[in-house]
Structure 1
């Protein structure tokens, strides 16, 4: 039975967030195609996870580069690295990943970056090889649904957008197959067209959901 992790990073909630309205359309359409799918929702603004502070950075370094065992870590370090590993262990149990985020100040909300930081665990999601790092999450598929206030595509601003670009780089590094992102932009440029833009985004999201649901995965 397939499992889907639906990850959102918007504090407004589905009633006020344009992106979350579009994300819900994606999820609804996906479940119409794959009704047996187990879905887990994560709101990153209401999600308990480890943060990359001094203790966690120290714990990672000791385990990865200095030959420490888990038992040799300080109590605070051990608690935080275990929390990180717990998140990673859950993440790798899923087959599909849906990320729904806004573009804030050229990138994604900081909670998404921190969530991704928790996934970079050597031996679990990637390994080092003589030819460089290799992702271990093969056979899994992800998609990003992103809303933007400005217009970036095909403009000089395009190269400054780092939200969608970084997410795709990070997931590709881990070995995850990426579907084309669903990008809806210009909400601040055309405020009177929000209803039409949301409807268009929902239509595109539903099409993307049907495509992803039809993809073959190893369960």
Structure 2
């Protein structure tokens, strides 16, 4: 049995997120193909993830032992490291992921748990795991001149790689705010890809 962590980040009301429409499809298809696996949903807005405070730093970078596992500040990183697969549903906002995603990453970027320092530099401690990022965007950012402005998927791919997770797939629905496009057709295409990728994820 594999543990899957479904990380959701969109403040929109239930049923309004185009990103979640695609990611939920992915999860449904994944469950059909992997009925023995355990999927845990972590909705960052419902969790009310906050920014780190000065007093939190000592805990995050302090000694890690059996006692530290009981610290509520570290619950996210221990949950993260116990997972085998990650589904990140986060739309593009202002060329990047929603700020709450970065706040969450700060909780799970913990030396001695998700990475370590060696004489040869940092080494990820989450090797052998895989991730998929589901993202909806108003314009075309997967190719063409605007591709260089895309910072969200690039950031997630980089930080997950820092943790040792290099098997990283992106399912992107682009141009959803382009009035010259058939939005439903674009979403349907992303749904088809999501269902296809989920079977082998």
| Fold conserved between structures, TM > 0.5 | yes
Which residue of structure 2 lines up, in the alignment, with residue 75 of structure 1? Answer: none
Tell me how far apart the structure 2 counterparts of residues 104 and 191 of structure 1 sit (CA, whole Å). Answer: 21
Q: Which residue of the other structure, out of 156, 160, 179, is the alignment partner of 2:168?
A: 179
Which residue of structure 2 lines up, in the alignment, with residue 27 of structure 1? Answer: 27
**What are structure 1's unaligned runs of at least 5 residues?**
65-70, 72-77, 213-219
Structure 1 residue 192, shift from structure 2 partner: 5.7
Tell me how far apart the structure 2 counterparts of residues 27 and 59 of structure 1 sit (CA, whole Å). Answer: 34
Tell me how far apart the structure 2 counterparts of residues 136 and 166 of structure 1 sit (CA, whole Å). Answer: 18
Which residue of structure 2 lines up, in the alignment, with residue 109 of structure 1? Answer: 98
TM-score w.r.t. the length of structure 2 is 0.90
Matched position secondary structure for 1:5: strand
Structure 1 residue 7, shift from structure 2 partner: 0.8
Correspondence 1:189-208 to 2 at 5 A: 189-190=178-179, 193-208=182-197
Q: Please tell me whether residue 210 in structure 1 is matched to residue 195 in structure 2.
A: no
Structure 1 residue 11, shift from structure 2 partner: 1.4
Determine if contact 1:50/1:83 at 8 Å carries over to the other structure.
no
Alpha-carbon RMSD across the aligned residues, in angstroms, is 2.3
Structure 1 residue 3, shift from structure 2 partner: 1.1
Q: Please tell me whether residue 9 in structure 1 is matched to residue 9 in structure 2.
A: yes
Determine if contact 2:59/2:73 at 8 Å carries over to the other structure.
no
Tell me how far apart the structure 1 counterparts of residues 121 and 9 of structure 2 sit (CA, whole Å). Answer: 31
Tell me how far apart the structure 1 counterparts of residues 161 and 37 of structure 2 sit (CA, whole Å). Answer: 23
**What are structure 2's unaligned runs of at least 5 residues?**
none
Q: Please tell me whether residue 52 in structure 1 is matched to residue 52 in structure 2.
A: yes
TM-score w.r.t. the length of structure 1 is 0.83
Structure 1 residue 157, shift from structure 2 partner: 1.7
Tell me how far apart the structure 2 counterparts of residues 190 and 209 of structure 1 sit (CA, whole Å). Answer: 30
Q: Which residue of the other structure, out of 139, 150, 155, is the alignment partner of 2:144?
A: 155
Which residue of structure 2 lines up, in the alignment, with residue 68 of structure 1? Answer: none
Structure 1 residue 158, shift from structure 2 partner: 1.2
Structure 1 residue 60, shift from structure 2 partner: 4.5
**1:1-28 deviation digits (Å, cap 9, x = unpaired):** 2111111111124411111111111111
Report how many residues are paired: 198
**1:154-202 deviation digits (Å, cap 9, x = unpaired):** 2222111110000010111001132321111001113761211111110
Matched position secondary structure for 1:108: coil
Correspondence 1:15-164 to 2 at 5 A: 15-49=15-49, 51-57=51-57, 59-60=59-60, 63=62, 82-164=71-153
Alpha carbons of structure 1 residues 170 and 203: separation in structure 2 relative to 1, 3 Å: same
Tell me how far apart the structure 1 counterparts of residues 14 and 182 of structure 2 sit (CA, whole Å). Answer: 19
